Amino acid sequence: MADTEVLVIGAGASGAALSWRLSDAGIKVICLEQGDWVKPADIPIDRPDWEIARMSWWSPNPNLRRLPEDYPVNDTDTPIKPLMFNGVGGSTIMWSCFNPRFHPDDFRVRSVDGVAEDWPLTYDELAPHYDLSDRMMGVSGIAGDPSVPIRTERPMPPLPIGPGTQTVIDAFNRLGWHWWPGDVARNSTEYDGRPACNNCGACEMGCPSGAKGSADVAYWPKALKQGVELRTGARVFEITTDKAGRATGALYYDRTGAVRRVTADAVVMASNGVGTPRLLLLSKSARFPDGLANSTGLVGKNLMHHPIAAVSGVFDRLFDHGTGGAGASMLSNEFYGTRPGHDFVRGYMLAGPRIQAPLATALGASGRSLAWGEGHHKQFEQLFGRFGSMIICCEDLPDETNTVTLDPALKDSDGIPAPKLTYTLDDNSKRMIRHGLDRSKEVWDAAGAIDTIERPLLAQAGFHLMGTARMGNDPKTSVVDRWGRAHDVPNLFIVDGSVFVTCAAVNPTPTIEALALRTADHMIASRS
C-alpha cells in the first residue's frame, strides 16, 4: 500500500490549489516542498536597507538570492533571467499579485491566427475554476470591462487609483484607448480572516500582514486543516516508476541530506515551468531513457516567457511617489490579440504605471543611469517621484529551440544537476515590442511628459515560466492531455505553467491555479 493517494511536488500556487481541492474531497495528499515557510519576520520589508535586500539576498532571482533551498539556473544563454521563489507559497510569495485572466481567443490562436496550437480546452470550461481561484486568493476588482467576457463580481471592490495612474488614465481617455482597473489579489477590505492591505507598495517582497493573496495564506492553512501532509525542506531529485511505466512516488533529500522515499498512487508535478521539466529530465530509467513523460522529446521545449518592455514618462512635476501596491492598478487591452495593420501576430497588454523607490531610481530603474559625481543629485531630483513606467507585456509564441535542459556542470547544493535556459526573442516579439514602445510613448506624450525613456527588454522579468510540458490531445505533439495527465504515464499529472500551450499576454498565475483546480476536480471525479 502506498504512503499516500496523491503526492504533489511543489507547494506553490498550483500545488497548493490542487492539494486543497483534493483534500477537501477526502483524498490523502502528501506535498513535498524544497523550501520552507516564510514567516512575516523573514520578509525584510521593515528594514532601512529593504531596497538593497530586494536587489540581492531577497531578490526574486534565485541566482542573486542564493538561499540554501534555491537551485542555481544557468541563464547565460537567455536575455530574460528566470525569477521564482522556493518555499511554501512558491513564487506567489514574491508576485505582484496582478490577477488578469486569459481571453477566450487566447485558447485558440491556431484557429484564430494560424500560429502555434490551440489549447485542448476553452475559456468557458475554465471560467468556474477561475472564479474559485479568485475566491480563494481574494481578488479586488470590478466587473464591467467591455474588452473581456462577462464576468462574475470580484470578491472585493477595486483598489484605489493613485495620482500617477490617474494621469495615465486621463491620457488613455484623451487617446480614446481602452483601460480598466486591474484585478489584483490584494485585499481592499478585510477578507477571509486576512486584513485589508495597508498599501505599503512593496508587494513583490512578500506580505507580512497576509493582505496579499499568496498560496501560503490563501490555500495552505485550509489544506493543512483538511489533513494534507506538507513536508518542507524536501528536495525531490527523481520521480520513481515501476516496470509497467506507472509513477510510484519520489525520492528526495531531506534537510540532513538523507535520501527519503514517498510512495503514491498518483504523482502531481507542481514545480513551475523550469523545475518540472528539470525533474522529468532527471527521472531517466531504462523504460524512460530520455526522461519521464518525454517520448515526444518535448519536455523542456517551447519555453515561453512574456517579453516585458517599458517606457518611462518623465514629468516636470511630482508624478507619483509609489506609495501604493506594486500590482498594476490599470491595464489596457487596446493592443491585445492580433489587430489589422500590425506587422506581428498576437498582441500585448499595457499595464502600469510602475513607480520606483529612491535607491531603484538612483540605480537606473527609469531606464536612465544616473551620473556619479557632480550632477548626480540634480539628476536624481529630476527623476525621483517624477516618472512612471508603462509596462508592455507581450504574448510569446512557442518555439522548440527555446528550452530548459539539464546543465552538464552546474549543480545545486545537493549535487543535483541544475537547469539551463536557452532562449531567443523571435522577430515577431521584436516587432511587437517596437509597436508597444511607440504606443507607450504616445501615452506619455498625451499625459504631458517632458521626456520618455525606452527599455526595450527588461532582463529581470522572467517570472512567467511556461510551455515546457505542453498540453494537447495528440500524444505525438504534447506531453499531457487536456486534464494535465501525462500521455506516457497514466498516473502522472502536471499542473504548473509547464502545460501552457500558448501564453497569452497576461500574468499566468490565475490560469495556473484554475488549471490545477480543474485537474483536481477531474482526479476527484475519476476516483469516484
Partner 1 sequence: MGRTDPLISALLSSLLPGDGDWPSAAATGLPAWFGRRIDASPALAEAVGWLRIALPADFAIRAPSLRQVDLKGCEAADPARFAIVVTEAVSGYYIDPAVLGVVEAKTGFPARPPQPMGHRLEPFDLSILEGRKRPASDR
**Which of 139, 168, 169, 489 lies at the binding interface for partner 1 (CB under 8 A)?**
169
Joined together, the cell numbers standing for residue 320 give 507619483
Joined together, the cell numbers standing for residue 249 give 512516488
Closest to 129 measured CA to CA, from 9, 17, 211, 269: 17
**Could you tell me which stretch among 31-39, 221-229, 257-265, 355-363 binds partner 1 (CB under 8 A)?**
355-363
Q: Look at phi and psi of residue 361 and say left if phi exceeds 0, alpha if psi is from -120 to 50, else beta.
A: alpha
305 φ, ψ (degrees, to nearest 5)? -115, -175
With binding defined as CB under 8 A, does residue 97 bind partner 1?
Answer: no
With binding defined as CB under 8 A, does residue 45 bind partner 1?
Answer: yes
**Which of 77, 143, 225, 526 lies at the binding interface for partner 1 (CB under 8 A)?**
143
Q: Side chain identity at 343, as an amino acid letter?
A: D
With binding defined as CB under 8 A, does residue 198 bind partner 1?
Answer: yes
Least separation, in Å, of the C-beta of 195 and partner 1? 11
- Residues numbered 382 to 401 that lie near partner 1 (CB under 8 A) are 384-385
Nearer to partner 1, 114 or 146 (CB): 146
**Which of 144, 227, 257, 297 lies at the binding interface for partner 1 (CB under 8 A)?**
144
Calpha distance 449→446 (Å, rounded): 8
DSSP 482: T
Angle between helices 13-24 and 509-527 (to 10 degrees): 30
Calpha distance 216→518 (Å, rounded): 20
Least separation, in Å, of the C-beta of 209 and partner 1? 8
Nearer to partner 1, 198 or 401 (CB): 198
Q: Which residues contact 503 (CB under 8 A, 6 or more apart)?
A: 304, 305, 306, 395, 396, 464, 466, 467
Nearer to partner 1, 160 or 490 (CB): 160
State whether the Cα torsion 223-229-235-240 is positive or negative: negative
**Which of 26, 49, 66, 424 lies at the binding interface for partner 1 (CB under 8 A)?**
49
With binding defined as CB under 8 A, does residue 408 bind partner 1?
Answer: no
Number of residues located near partner 1, criterion CB under 8 A: 56
Strands (E), 176-278: 180-181, 229-232, 235-241, 247-253, 259-269
Question: 3-class DSSP state for residue 163?
Answer: helix
Least separation, in Å, of the C-beta of 38 and partner 1? 14
What residues pair up with 506 in beta bridges, in sequence order? none
**Which of 26, 52, 261, 477 lies at the binding interface for partner 1 (CB under 8 A)?**
52
Interacting residues with partner 1 (CB under 8 A): 43, 45-52, 55, 142-146, 150, 157-161, 166, 169, 179-181, 188, 196-202, 205, 208-209, 318, 321, 323-324, 357-359, 362-363, 370, 372-374, 376-378, 381, 384-385
